[in-house]
Amino acid sequence: MAEKNRQMQTVSPLLQKIINWSSAIGALGTVAFCLWAYFAGVLQSKETLSAFIQQAGFWGPPLFIFLQILQTVVPIIPGALTSVAGVFIYGHIVGTIYNYIGIVIGCAIIFHLARTYGPAFVQSVVSKRTYDKYISWLDKGNRFERFFIFMMIWPISPADFLCMLAALTKMTFKKYMLIILLCKPITLVIYTYGLTYIIDLFWKMVSK
């Protein structure tokens, strides 16, 4: 009965507006910052980017981790960008740790929100096409858990959406967090190191 009641809850108009406006403002803000940073020379190299961000001093790491939490809960900035930025700013080891902390906390939050508000919350965050593409996995029982584990390791997957989808199943929060804690480091290492390598090549080509 409790599960049924959770599914019947709806997202409040205020929360829906916050989600919509946050996504729009985040997208515009990202474009505006990238343009400004490019013309200001901040994106000239990863060293200039690191020097710029580290001007925040002590507050830099907490703010970065908060940004990772925020982008996981509300898609205001592509997660790949923030993860790569973390590595460029703080180095591979420390940057990956900061990424991991923020993403794990964010995953815990979105699971709670999706379990509290049900499909209404999930559909308010993702497109109908994405929702319809994966929603059938809810009927596959234990197969969904195996699918979820694989997708949490696979670097190119709608991970945030699948975390919400997991909340609509009977998966316990404990099992969900165990999967996240074990799988996310693998994903972070694969796509963060891969993207940093590609961006390094790009910067070398541009600087020639």
Per-residue pLDDT reduced to its tens digit, 63-74: 889 888 888 887
- Within 8 A by CB and 6+ apart from 106, the residues are 68, 69, 70, 71, 72, 73, 160
The vertex-152 CA angle with 11 and 50, nearest 5°, equals: 90
What gap in Å lies between CA 58 and CA 205, rounded to an integer?
34
pTM of the model: 0.73
What gap in Å lies between CA 130 and CA 126, rounded to an integer?
7
- Within 8 A by CB and 6+ apart from 115, the residues are 6, 167, 168, 173
Residue 8 identity (one-letter amino acid): M
Each residue's pLDDT tens digit, 89-137: 888 889 889 999 999 999 999 999 899 888 888 887 777 787 888 887 7
